[in-house]
Structure 1
């Protein structure tokens, strides 16, 4: 990254990764236990890999708010996000309203990804979110994304007469490949089109 290296940067990044990973594991464990499927927690983590991204959004050149990152859902299982003091993260509610997240410097945002929607049999929601930039300062954020290198199994315990299974077990990396296809780009719900038991028409 630099000809002479940057040990301090590497140390800080590594320490952040450890903190974010601990939070990731804690949240996953809480989710699994809350649905009564804690016995699958260890086997879920075994094939998991993680992507740490350092993101920079420049201050807008005009006074009006400027789109820094387009509306999207995450394709991960969950995402742990940290931003500096420059706000900009907005989340769309189920009613279509956009709200700005006011995060303190010691706060992380944990976002459910599309893969978690399928795993939870539709009980959890993967929200659309975007970055809107305003003011004169640049925004920096760090995101830790969890992906499985194998199949994500939908627990049978999450399906019953009241909640019939909506999704099949699926290849998580295959979801990423599907996203880049023409069908995936046109889909109104990527995860339903990819592994829904009754895929939506696109």
Structure 2
């Protein structure tokens, strides 16, 4: 596969069984072959998208000492600000050329679950930042729910199989700023080659060249979305759960050509995580004599903890 397929969520949400099945078949095929799709018909409207980018730029343009007030020690970067160069890809010594923010789950109906997560961090200098971030978080979470319903049907599971696992799940919205590059990066990239930890990732801001996906032949292909599309990919949790039937694909964000070094890049991934006790044990329907079980049993919480240590975000 040499390009990223495009699908439209409105097909799945329609009352026409043929359109619904078309979406299930298209997204299932794409995730088995390349692990990425570009998705139209999601729940983010243009006004919300514009507001989100505006507020994110307002935050990242604050002085570094102001932003660092929101870097919370001892929580593995799960909420608030993470400063430039702190995170590195698994197996890489060099920090990625980025700074970012984390919005987390807004638990409103389960006090015990709320205790499990750090609280979201309020930015006083940018009053609308948190309000707009919460609204975008919830619209992306809603979009992800229907994508997972389609994948459940593709896997011959009950349509709402994932619903209870993702309700109040440990999902993260991560606005990222890749600042202008001021000197030749030695071995660092804006985001080094990596796979995502979670079930699925919904990415805003993949317009323009930068994001690249590695296909099964080892070739890097550009993943460029249309202005009204989200790029959505399979994460390692879903890949494990499906015995690698749905592919978690290695991807990266390359540095721009020298003439564009002076420009910032913004992207906003939403990492859809389940609740920590979800078992990621390989589904029975994804094991047969040609595809023996590839992964040990593990919960989502245990797997996340392992990966945060590998990324250098937890000790």
- Please classify the TM superposition score into its range, dividing by the shorter chain length: 0.7 to 0.9
* Residue range with higher mean Cα deviation, 22-31 or 157-166: 157-166
Q: Secondary structure at the match of 2:190?
A: strand
1:112-144 CA-partner distances (Å, limit 9, x unpaired): 111111111110111111111321321111111
Cα offset, 1:110, TM superposition:
0.8
42-51 vs 85-94, which deviates more?
42-51
Q: 1:86 to 1:59 in 2, by over 3 A?
A: farther
Is 1:146 matched up with 2:272? yes
Q: Which residue of 1 aligns with 2:252?
A: 130
CA contact (8 A) 2:206 2:231 kept: no
- Say if 1:43 and 1:158 are closer, same or farther in 2 by CA, change over 3 A: farther
Measured in 2, the distance between the counterparts of 1:2 and 1:45 equals: 27
Match of 1:90 among 196, 212, 216: 212
| DSSP-derived class of the 2:204 partner | strand
Match of 1:58 among 158, 179, 201: 179
The whole-number CA distance in structure 1 between the counterparts of 2:123 and 2:237 is: 36
The runs of at least 4 aligned residues of structure 1 exceeding 6 Å deviation read none
Give per-residue Cα distances to partners, 1:133-175, cap 9 Å, x unaligned.
3213211111111223112243222223343332233122222
SS at match of 1:38: coil
Q: In structure 2, how many angstroms separate the alpha carbons of the residues matched to 1:146 and 1:85?
A: 21
**Farther off after superposition, 167-176 or 39-48:** 39-48
Which residue of structure 1 lines up, in the alignment, with residue 302 of structure 2? 174
Q: Which runs of 5+ in 1 are unaligned?
A: 186-202
Conservation of the 8 A alpha-carbon contact between 2:177 and 2:265: yes
Q: Within 1, Cα distance between the matches of 2:244 and 2:163? A: 22
Deviations 1:76-125 (Å, cap 9, x if unpaired)?
Answer: 11111111655311111111111111112221111111111111111011
CA RMSD of aligned residues (A): 2.6
Q: Which has the higher strand share?
A: 1
Q: Is the 8 A contact 1:79 1:146 kept in 2?
A: yes
In structure 1, the partner of 2:226 is 104
Q: Deviations over 1:15-53 (max 9, x none)?
A: 221221122111111111111112533343346221111
The number of aligned residues is 181
Judged with a 3 Å threshold, the aligned counterparts in structure 2 of structure 1 residues 121 and 85 are, in CA distance, closer, same or farther, namely closer
Aligned residue for 1:41? Answer: 162
Query: What secondary structure, in the 3-state scheme, does the structure 2 residue paired with 1:44 have?
Result: helix
Q: TM-score normalized by structure 2?
A: 0.51
In structure 1, distance between residues paired with 2:168 and 2:299: 11
> What runs of 5+ residues in structure 2 fail to find an aligned partner?
1-121
TM-score (norm 1): 0.77
